[in-house]
Structure 1
Amino acid sequence: MSDAHLTQLATADFPPFRPGSVWLVGAGPGGPGLLTLLAFHALGQADVIVHDALVSSEILALAPAHIERIPAGKRGGKPSPKQADISIRLIELARQGKRVLRLKGGDPFMFGRGGEEAGELVRAGIPFRIVPGISSGLGGLAYAGLPITHRDTNQTVLFLTGHDETGAVPSAIDWHSVARAAPVIVMFMAVKHLPTIAAQLLAAGREQAEELTVVSNTAQPIQSVHETTLGAAIEPLELPTPAIVVLGPVARYRGRLDWYVEEARRHVFG
């Protein structure tokens, strides 16, 4: 970034990050280049950053070194802070008069529990701002050459999460309705339970030969893509996480649209 661009960014009319407030900010799908300008502004203004495990070290490095960083990552199968404890910490820090940046992977309101945290802030009387981020289920898939809609294949798309608050497959999902709802289904946090999910979708009428694509570590130099079928996914897959699973015909465009080749991967900033 040139000095002129940095000057413009520094003098832009961003909203003030006031002491005693919390900003719930989406960090995007991976590469620092996919941060919004408002998220970048917040990184420089915060007193403390409470960040998810999915937020990359490259993104955290964009904040000045003196800003306190508090990890609040929730990763399946590993010791993690409880959601209630995270919300309590945000409130405590704000009541200390700090500018609290709650930095979340992707978008705070896209399976990011941002609505829950914002609700707790409302109940505690803490001022807050929501800064949307690029969801891995949208922009992240573009880095794998996967358009989630294409007028030749689908005019609808369905998003779902692969586990509930207990870590199990969500029991409230009507799989027969899901199977019929859209040609393309995008699944967050679904790798662990993919065999169960695949079996449910097959039982609900989806075809065994349907294309299924798993994109791990989206928009990062270590991104990897695994292509298989729904029928094959009933067997456990040993794949890197975090990952996004895409079921449906848009997989056919990857051969032409897979632009994130090795040359692009070397540019870590997106």
Structure 2
Amino acid sequence: MLMPDPNRTHPALPGTVYLVGGGPGDPDLLTVRAARLIAQADVLVYDHLIGDGILDLARPDAEIIYAGKEASKHTLPQDDINHLLVQLAQKYRCVVRLKGGDPFIFGRGGEELEILARHGVPFQVVPGVTAAAGCAAYAGFPLTHRDHAQVLVFATGHLKDGTVNLDWQALARPKQTVVFYMGIAGLGEISRQMIAHGLPPQTPAGVVQQGTTRQQRVVVADLATLEAKVQEAGITTPALIFVGGVLQLQPQLSWFEPQAAAETA
């Protein structure tokens, strides 16, 4: 159990927890406010998908706590993280909870703030560039386009109970882009369900692994062949799945060269 800091002016008063979006990976995509808070923080609690170099912005004397979650491997259970933030707010004035992408888009940010609110801990939210926007931009296709997609849908490919039981009828509609977070393990099922509920097998689809970073890899195919091509390429997490007509623009609009970025870093 963390004890209140005796050197603090008002040890009985909670500090502020800043729920900060760390962006999709490239540290240049941090917001100015996110970078400023990371540099000011007394303590940072950070997730697995924080881009290289972002923690370098922290003060040398800041406490750094890893609370990352990988597939079937959680450093701290979510309930423990929620209560850790409450404890840290009793010890420090500035607590930064640093999450990949945007904390309110499949980042469990709402769950953490519910606990803080219940305990009377002040908090603020700093949005970040969500992975869908960052990965699509760096992979070379828009998420919306007047000719291809008038609707944009974000879905999780991994529900709390471990299933992939989604509203397939709503997801498998034409003229929209669907982005699946945390769905690589269920890619085959996602493709089959999208086809079974009405999308043509030739619907453009793709996967972006470690988007916006020097390790970015992109596979573009169609729903019928995407799983096989992803397996052939050896694509693993972290990665996002994209489905929709905008993917056909990728060969024309691709601009980011990870190898060139690595050589100039």
Settle same-fold status: TM greater than 0.5.
yes
Q: Which residue of 2 aligns with 1:257?
A: 253
CA distance in 1, matches of 2:35, 2:55: 10
Equivalent positions of 1:203-242 (< 5 A) are 203-233=196-226, 237=231, 238-242=234-238
Conservation of the 8 A alpha-carbon contact between 1:217 and 1:240: no
CA distance in 2, matches of 1:197, 1:157: 17
Deviation of 1:98 after TM superposition, in Å, equals 3.8
Equivalent positions of 1:96-107 (< 5 A) are 96-107=91-102
2:244 corresponds, among 217, 225, 248, to 248
Q: Which residue of 1 aligns with 2:4?
A: none
Conservation of the 8 A alpha-carbon contact between 1:30 and 1:56: yes
1:85 corresponds, among 72, 77, 80, to 80
2:134 corresponds, among 132, 139, 151, to 139
Q: Which residue of 2 aligns with 1:129?
A: 124
Q: Which amino acid aligns with 2:207?
A: V
Deviation of 1:230 after TM superposition, in Å, equals 0.6
Q: Which amino acid aligns with 2:214?
A: P
Q: Which residue of 1 aligns with 2:7?
A: none
Conservation of the 8 A alpha-carbon contact between 1:196 and 1:234: no
Conservation of the 8 A alpha-carbon contact between 2:176 and 2:244: yes
1:175 corresponds, among 159, 168, 192, to 168
CA distance in 2, matches of 1:29, 1:227: 20
- Root-mean-square deviation (CA, aligned residues, Å) is 1.8
Deviation of 1:181 after TM superposition, in Å, equals 6.7
Deviation of 1:56 after TM superposition, in Å, equals 2.3
Identity of aligned residues (%): 41
1:184 corresponds, among 158, 177, 202, to 177
Q: Which amino acid aligns with 1:41?
A: R
2:158 corresponds, among 160, 163, 179, to 163
User: Which stretch shows the higher mean deviation, 253-262 or 192-201?
Assistant: 253-262
Equivalent positions of 1:191-210 (< 5 A) are 191-210=184-203
Q: Which amino acid aligns with 2:216?
A: Q
* CA deviation vs aligned residue, 1:240-267 (integer Å, no higher than 9, x gap): 3111111111112112211112434545
Aligned length: 249
Q: Which amino acid aligns with 2:260?
A: E
Q: Which amino acid aligns with 1:205?
A: G
CA distance in 2, matches of 1:203, 1:56: 37
* CA deviation vs aligned residue, 1:77-104 (integer Å, no higher than 9, x gap): 2243211110010011001234210000
CA distance in 2, matches of 1:234, 1:136: 21
Compared with structure 1, are the counterparts of its residues 174 and 182 closer, same or farther at alpha carbon in structure 2 (3 Å cutoff)?
A: farther
Alignment of 1:153 with 2:151, yes or no, is no
Helix, strand or coil for the counterpart of 2:172?
helix
Conservation of the 8 A alpha-carbon contact between 1:106 and 1:136: yes
TM-score (norm 1): 0.87
Alignment of 1:67 with 2:65, yes or no, is no
TM-score (norm 2): 0.88
Unaligned runs of 5+ in 1: 1-17
1:21 corresponds, among 16, 20, 24, to 16
CA distance in 1, matches of 2:160, 2:77: 10
Compared with structure 1, are the counterparts of its residues 179 and 260 closer, same or farther at alpha carbon in structure 2 (3 Å cutoff)?
A: same
Runs of 4+ displaced beyond 3 Å: 233-236, 264-268
Compared with structure 1, are the counterparts of its residues 194 and 186 closer, same or farther at alpha carbon in structure 2 (3 Å cutoff)?
A: same
Conservation of the 8 A alpha-carbon contact between 2:145 and 2:246: yes
Conservation of the 8 A alpha-carbon contact between 2:202 and 2:222: yes
Compared with structure 1, are the counterparts of its residues 157 and 182 closer, same or farther at alpha carbon in structure 2 (3 Å cutoff)?
A: farther
